[in-house]
Amino acid sequence: MQIECVVSSRSMIGEGAVWDDRAQVLWWVDISAGLIHRYDPVTRENTAQEFGEPVGCLAIREAGGLVLATKSGFWLYAPDSGRRDHIADPEAHLPDNRFNDGATDAQGRFWAGSMKDGGAPQPMGQFYCLDADRVVHPWKDGIYTTNGLAFSPDGQTMYFSDSNARVRTIWACDYDTQTGTPGPARVFFDTRHVAGRPDGGTVDSEGCYWMAGVSGWQVYRISPEGEILLTIDMPVEKPTKPMFGGKDLDILFVTSIGADLTEGTDQPQAGGLFAITDLGATGLPQKRFAG
């Protein structure tokens, strides 16, 4: 196994990695800076565009371009032209909130969760589903830091988490693929047994869940039964989002946080984008947003 910092960006909150299997590039964001990054692993070129407000997460659109979940809600965005079309702001009444983590289900719905941005943590976050018809459906509320959204290979299990230190739990629920409705949540993994709290997640081709252990210097591979199969020690304290990419979907890209690090720690690559190779695992193509 090899770990390499492929983009030394010193991002404040590097997050939201999504692999484009057609263009063979990785999209990711720096939330606080409002930057949308595009990394090409062949040329090793990374470019960034400013959106003008915090961008929590994104997905690639089947119709071209991206869908974003930002400080002001959901947007369609064309990176080539800069065109942006606002869809909805389901939390216009919560000016202290912003969107955070997201993922698409097997039918191309875009799920994203919100959280209170700054100050003392409060359970003000909620998950939302953006349908292909661009209607927003609220789901579970009362979350401190929405995170960990991912779906099993058959699309019938949805994973999500709360990163807050008081909670630090990943849940799973049966998922109705026809209606896009999650069933009752059950505890999938309690991260009090490991060093890191749950941040972003993804699922590999064998159905195992990969979790970025923020503040724990580690990334974990967890079986569908909730058992740790692999622990990867990272050179940074706050890994945030794992995502498989590359031609054979066998490279695990990991974003990270470069701000608010533990004083006295030596981590010059914090905030960078990492590529982990020779893992012996492969990912799944990410479904595109159908709207």
Residues taking part in catalysis: 199
Query: How many structural domains is the chain composed of?
Result: 1
In a domain, 287, yes or no: no
Q: Determine whether the annotation assigns residue 98 to a binding site.
A: yes
Q: 284 lies in a domain?
A: no
Q: Are 69 and 57 in contact (CB under 8 A)?
A: yes
Q: Which residues, in sequence order, are bridge partners of residue 174?
A: 157
CATH number for the domain that contains residue 236? 2.120.10.30
From first to last of the 291 residues of the chain, give the pLDDT tens digit.
999 999 999 999 999 999 999 999 999 999 999 999 999 999 999 999 999 999 999 999 999 999 999 999 999 999 999 999 999 999 999 999 999 999 999 999 999 999 999 999 999 999 999 999 999 999 999 999 999 999 999 999 999 999 999 999 999 999 999 999 999 999 999 999 999 999 999 999 999 999 999 999 999 999 999 999 999 999 999 999 999 999 999 999 999 999 999 999 999 999 999 999 999 999 999 999 999
Residue 42 belongs to domain spanning? 2-277
Residue 164 lies inside a defined structural domain of this protein: yes
Whether 286 is covered by a domain: the verdict is no
206 is in an annotated binding site: no
Please check if 199 is assigned to a binding site.
yes
Tell me the three state secondary structure of residue 177.
Answer: coil
Query: b/e for 34-72, b at 16 or more Cβ within 10 A?
Result: bbbbbbebeeeebebeebeebbbbbbbbeeebbbbbbbb
**What pTM does this model have?**
0.97
Is 178 domain-assigned? yes
User: Is 289 among the domain residues?
Assistant: no
- For residue 225, is it within any domain? yes
Backbone region of residue 106 per phi and psi (left: phi > 0; alpha: psi in -120 to 50; beta: other values): alpha
